[in-house]
């Protein structure tokens, strides 16, 4: 019968990719759109990393590799976890996937039975919901607010835990809010996970982008009990501006990592051989470029916060990491501006795009309709021009 599966019918497209496509179309049409939609760094991949990719092509490193990633790369990841996170793993506890999104996908495929519950905070990264559902799981979404820094508390999680709870996803620093969990909160969540026996999926893709001197804390570090039930997810996309190369990775319990590898062996097989070589250079080579990008993002973060301070009716939590700010615009809802009726984040995003040609991502896609996500992975000139337009549009 020519009908799609329920899965195929029900999976939603990524709402962030949809608005990005609309913004890009306007740019292609020659319109002067200021883009705050990007979910990726605007910098080029550092030169020495690109060269490693080119060298591997020249050397003929263009064939299948080990499904879980070449051993040199897994060893480099083991070393990275040891040096940066004080976490000791064996290579057999590490897997390389086609981007961290794919890592999370494979984790949920490996651990979820139909009806299993996976808890995470709203505002959330859009893919968590669909990845959980595609694995047959049930997303249990817990609302967090600006006053709690958009971070789940242990009590909020404890209230949701049932005998169906399979995992809790923690994303720190967070996309879309830019906030981070403090280590005491993580320790409490870790203790609960050990006590109630559920996995932690710790999405640490923005680990290297922290501001104001904050240090990254991985929830897996508190003791061996929590380490044994935690997947630490990371990748090269955000830290090294390598989104197109598609390399993510995880460390976690060996039996689950092995299942992920078997699942991967029947879907993508190995991540691209040349991208693995580039990732090896990224992770084991000089980290200077990472720091200079971080410094640039911190300056832009300061600028965009300062500019929002000058706009009435918009509040925000100062981002501590990543490259997003997630202000609350709801004071402007129920207004009609230039004939645009603004009822929620989708309306406001359309208004800003069509009236003043500023592209932002409506918060509704992240489970927070009061808010809008603006990426500051763009130049200071563009941040200033864009915020001039937003101020004019909202404050007249």
Ligand X SMILES: *Cc1c(COP(=O)(O)O)cnc(C)c1O
Residues that bind ligand X (CB under 6 A): 39, 99-101, 125, 171, 175, 203, 205, 235, 237-238, 243, 248
**Residue whose CB is less far from ligand X, 78 or 121:** 121
Beta carbons of 211 and 319 less than 8 angstroms apart:
yes
Distance of CA 178 to the CA centre of its chain: 10
Nearest approach in angstroms of CB 326 to ligand X is 13
The DSSP H or E segment spanning 233 is strand 230-235
Map tokens 């202000």 to a residue: 327
Nearest approach in angstroms of CB 215 to ligand X is 19
- Interior CA angle at 209 toward 213 and 330, to 5°? 95
**Residue whose CB is less far from ligand X, 37 or 194:** 37
Tokens of 189: 């969540």
- DSSP assignment of 154-166: HHHHHHH--TTEE
- Name the residue with the smallest CB distance to ligand X: 99
- Interior CA angle at 40 toward 23 and 91, to 5°? 150
Task: Single out the residue of 195, 124, 192 nearest to residue 158, CA to CA.
Answer: 192
Nearest approach in angstroms of CB 327 to ligand X is 18
**Residue whose CB is less far from ligand X, 275 or 289:** 275
**Residue whose CB is less far from ligand X, 39 or 137:** 39
Nearest approach in angstroms of CB 378 to ligand X is 16
**Residue whose CB is less far from ligand X, 40 or 380:** 40
**DSSP letter at 118?**
E
Nearest approach in angstroms of CB 40 to ligand X is 7
Q: Which residues contact 271 (CB under 8 A, 6 or more apart)?
A: 69, 96, 97, 98, 246, 247
**Residue whose CB is less far from ligand X, 100 or 358:** 100
**Residue whose CB is less far from ligand X, 31 or 214:** 214
CB hemisphere CA count around 110 (13 angstroms): 26
Nearest approach in angstroms of CB 104 to ligand X is 7
Nearest approach in angstroms of CB 169 to ligand X is 9
Count of Cβ atoms closer than 10 Å to residue 47 Cβ: 9
């Amino acid at each position: 019968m020519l009908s799609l599966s329920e899965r195929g019918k029900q999976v939603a497209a990524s709402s962030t990719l949809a608005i990005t496509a609309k913004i890009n179309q306007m740019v292609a049409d020659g319109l002067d759109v200021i883009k705050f939609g990007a979910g990726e760094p605007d910098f080029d991949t550092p030169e020495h990393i690109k060269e490693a990719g080119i060298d591997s092509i020249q050397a003929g490193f263009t064939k299948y590799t080990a499904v879980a990633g070449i051993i040199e790369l897994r060893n480099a990841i083991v070393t990275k976890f040891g040096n940066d996170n004080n976490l000791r793993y064996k290579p057999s506890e590490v897997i390389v996937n086609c981007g961290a999104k794919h890592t999370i996908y494979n984790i949920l495929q490996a651990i979820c039975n139909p009806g299993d519950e996976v808890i995470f905070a709203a505002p959330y990264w859009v893919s968590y919901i669909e990845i959980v559902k595609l694995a047959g799981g049930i997303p249990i979404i817990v609302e967090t607010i600006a006053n709690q820094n958009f971070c789940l508390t242990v009590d909020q999680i404890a209230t949701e835990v049932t005998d169906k709870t399979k995992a809790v996803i923690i994303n720190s620093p967070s996309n879309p809010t830019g906030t981070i969990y403090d280590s005491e909160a993580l320790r409490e969540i870790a203790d609960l996970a050990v006590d109630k026996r559920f996995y932690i999926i710790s999405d640490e893709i923005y680990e290297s982008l922290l501001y104001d001197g904050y240090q990254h804390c991985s929830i897996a570090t508190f003791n061996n009990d929590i380490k044994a039930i935690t997947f630490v997810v990371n990748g090269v996309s955000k830290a090294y501006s390598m989104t197109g190369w598609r390399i993510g990775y995880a460390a976690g319990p060996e039996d689950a990592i092995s299942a992920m590898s078997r699942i991967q062996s029947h879907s993508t097989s190995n991540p691209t051989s040349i991208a693995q070589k580039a990732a090896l250079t990224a992770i084991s080579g000089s980290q200077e470029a990472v720091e200079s990008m971080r410094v640039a993002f911190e300056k832009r973060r300061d600028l965009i916060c300062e500019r929002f301070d000058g706009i009435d009716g918009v509040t925000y939590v100062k981002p501590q990491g990543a490259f997003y700010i997630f202000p609350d615009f709801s004071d402007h809802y129920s207004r009609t501006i230039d004939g645009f009726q603004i009822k929620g984040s989708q309306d406001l995003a359309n208004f800003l795009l069509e009236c003043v040609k500023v592209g932002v991502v409506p918060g509704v896609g992240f489970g927070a309709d009061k808010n809008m996500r603006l990426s500051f992975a763009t130049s200071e000139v563009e941040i200033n021009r864009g915020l001039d337009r937003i101020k004019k549009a909202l404050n007249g």
